[in-house]
Amino acid sequence: MAALDLNAIRAIVEGRLATELAIVPVIPVVFHNVAYTPTPGSTWAQCSVSFSNNNYLTMGSTAGASNSVIGVIVVNIFSAKGVGSGANLTVGKRVRDLYNRIVVSGVRFDPPTGPEVVATPSPEGYFQTQVRMTFETFEDL
C-alpha cells in the first residue's frame, strides 16, 4: 500500500489513447505540454489529463486508510473544415469506446461526454469536437 503514482495513472490514460490512434487509420495525438504543429486540414487529436477532487473514503490516518482520487480526461478532436462531421465523429467513437465504463489497473473510467462540437475551434481552421470523461482511482495508504 502506498500513495498513488500520478504518472503511472497518466501513462495508463495516455497509453490507451496512443495505442488506439496508432491503429490504421493512424491519427496523430498530442499530449499535455508537448509542442505540435498540425498539418493544415489534417485530422489529429489533443489529450489532457488532470487530477481534480481527492476525498476521504475510509477512517484511518497515513496507514490502512483509503482515499478517492478523481481526474478528468479531455480529448479534442480536430478534422478538416467544411467537409462535414463524419470523419471527426468516427475518431470520437474510437476515443469514446476506449474508456467507456472500463476499468484498467484500478482506474475506473466513467461514461464519456461528447463528442461535443466546439463552436470556436482552437486552433482555428479546423472542425473541432471534444470528448470528456472523469475517472476515479483509489489510493490505499
Contact residues: other proteins, CB under 8 A: 56-61, 64-66, 110
Nearest approach in angstroms of CB 133 to other proteins is 13
Nearest approach in angstroms of CB 75 to other proteins is 21
| C-alpha cell, 41 | 486540414
What SS3 class is residue 124?
coil
CB 93 within 8 A of CB 75: no
Looking up cell 475506473 gives 108
Burial class of residue 108 in the structure, from the number of CB atoms within 10 Å of its CB (0-12 exposed, 13-18 middle, 19+ buried): middle
Judged by beta carbon, residue 52 or residue 61, the one nearer other proteins is: 61
Judged by beta carbon, residue 17 or residue 69, the one nearer other proteins is: 69
**Which DSSP state fits 22?**
T
Nearest approach in angstroms of CB 63 to other proteins is 9
**Which DSSP state fits 118?**
P
Judged by beta carbon, residue 81 or residue 101, the one nearer other proteins is: 101
Judged by beta carbon, residue 58 or residue 122, the one nearer other proteins is: 58
Nearest approach in angstroms of CB 68 to other proteins is 8
**Which DSSP state fits 32?**
T
